[in-house]
Amino acid sequence: TGSAGAAQATGFVVDAAQGLILTNRHVVKEGPVVAEAIFDNHEEVILEAVYRDPVHDFGIFRYDPASLRHLPSVAELQLRPDKARQGLDVRVIGNNAGEKLSIL
């Protein structure tokens, strides 16, 4: 079991209509999780952990899209697994050591 604490992480909206955010598995802890997302306009929403993959390094949070009162639309990252090929360059975007945005 993990210990209680606070942390920052990066996630990407992958379905704005359903309010789904994709993040790393370790962010969606086992057991109860209290989490919130902060959007680019600094608006905060409460998150509910909905999935933690047992094998691969991803997890999913859900927020209520109606709770975003000052953000007219949310850009979503379109996932395209059909475009993944061995040997392609990969860009890793995230929250490295508390930085707001890192591109490695």
pLDDT digits (tens, 9 = 90+) for 28-69: 888 788 899 998 888 999 999 999 988 888 889 999 999 998
Provide the pLDDT confidence category of residue 73 given band limits of 50, 70 and 90. confident
What span, in angstroms and rounded, lies between the C-alpha atoms of 5 and 10? 17
Contact 17, 74 (CB under 8 A): no
Q: Looking at residue 48, what is its pLDDT?
A: 94
CB 63 within 8 A of CB 48: yes
Q: What is the pLDDT of residue 61?
A: 94
**Which residues are registered as beta bridge partners of 63?**
none
Residue 97: pLDDT over 60: no
- The C-alpha atoms of residue 51 and residue 54 are separated, in whole angstroms, by 9
Percent of the chain with pLDDT over 90: 29
The answer to whether the CB of 37 falls within 8 A of the CB of 63 is yes
